[in-house]
Chains A and B, each alone.
Chain A
Amino acid sequence: QVQLVESGGGVVQPGGSLRLSCTVSGFTFTNLGMHWVRQAPGKGLEWVSSIQHDGLYQWYSKSVKGRFTISRAVSRNTLYLDMNTLRPEDTAVYYCAKDREYNRRIFDYWGQGTLVTVSP
């Protein structure tokens, strides 16, 4: 069955860095785009970043562009989000999600989420 498992969250000081991982199984990783979506405490869903099925193209929200980098390691079936210059407003649960269909940006399976807290 399809599984997505995030890891790497934690507490970090403002200006710090963190790498999130999302290890997947149960589907062909190279066939589908992958995404990161976050949710600040008590708030709604916010799209963060996407990567095309082949890794050739990446997209970012304005709020993270230039600070976050999305990537994928095919041999490890793992999606990454490298987060630099973190700000308190980046505090959120970060979810990875997979495309339902080839690059359609429909999120049919999600991980359980990993909490990132940016605090002095």
Chain B
Amino acid sequence: DQQVKQNSPSLSVQEGRISILNCDYTNSMFDYFLWYKKYPAEGPTFLISISSIKDKNEDGRFTVFLNKSAKHLSLHIVPSQPGDSAVYFCAASGVGGSNYKLTFGKGTLLTVNP
């Protein structure tokens, strides 16, 4: 039972345009959400996070939106750059008794074309 779902295995965008990566979750106990970026043969690198008490968090070119009622979050990258090409993982954590372990989606491969 996949508690965190990334339904798009891949996404291709042109350099300079917006990339939107989507993530859905089913467990209402999740209250902290993170996006990680992963290059081949490397470990995931933390990108941005959002607490369930917020609906938006922004860091430079990266913005994460959270819609709690829909159990949906998205990562916007504007403008997209070729160096952003990587696999992006959505992860969720339920603090307070969950030991802060992360539950990951299967990832979305983003390709930014020059």
A and B held together in a complex: no
